[in-house]
Every structure is written in C-alpha cells, then in structure tokens.
C-alpha cells in the first residue's frame, strides 16, 4: 500500500487512478449491502404472499370455488 510520501512522488495519473479505485471500492461495498437488503426484501415478500397467489388460480378470488361444468 502506498504511503503519503509515495503518493507525492507518483505520477499524477497514478494518483487519479488510485482515487478512482478507492471510490469504486467504496461503491462496491454499498452495492453489496443493497443486494443483501434486496434479497431479504424478496424473501420477506415471498413469505408474506398468500399461497393461492402462486397457484394456477391466481386470477380468481381465493374464497370462490373454481368454476366447474356439469354434464346434462
């Protein structure tokens, strides 16, 4: 890792690149935290979604029985 004295003698482009890399590392940490929160939210939403919502009758009211046909 570079010390402050190393940075003072470094190429200006290297200094800028190091600053960019530091910023990208910071952003990556924040993105990882957001992805973790997103996964928790999705899991929570899946647990709170009624089971009938995932079934083949998802467009029907859960209290109403499925329509049946009777032979005449």
pLDDT in tens, 22-33: 999 999 999 999
| Cα–Cα distance, 7 to 44 (Å, whole number) | 47
- Locate 17 and state its tokens: 């690149």
Model pLDDT, residue 8: 58
pTM score, whole prediction: 0.47
């Amino acid at each position: 890792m570079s010390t402050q004295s190393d940075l003072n003698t470094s190429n200006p482009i290297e200094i800028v690149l190091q600053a960019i890399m530091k910023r990208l590392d910071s952003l990556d940490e924040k993105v990882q935290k957001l992805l973790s929160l997103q996964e928790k939210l999705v899991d929570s939403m899946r647990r709170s979604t009624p089971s009938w919502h995932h079934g083949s009758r998802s467009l029907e009211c859960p209290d109403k029985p499925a329509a049946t046909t009777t032979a005449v």
